[in-house]
Amino acid sequence: MDKVFISQLHVDTIIGVYDFEKESKQSLYFDIEMLSDIKPAAANDDINLALDYAKVSERVIAHSTTKPVELLETLVEQLADIILTEFNTTQVKIRVSKPAAVAQAQTVGVEITRNKASV
Residues involved in catalysis? 98
d(CA 25, CA 13): 5
Alpha helices in the chain, H assignment, sequence order: 39-44, 53-66, 72-86
d(CA 87, CA 101): 31
DSSP secondary structure code for residue 96 in this structure: E
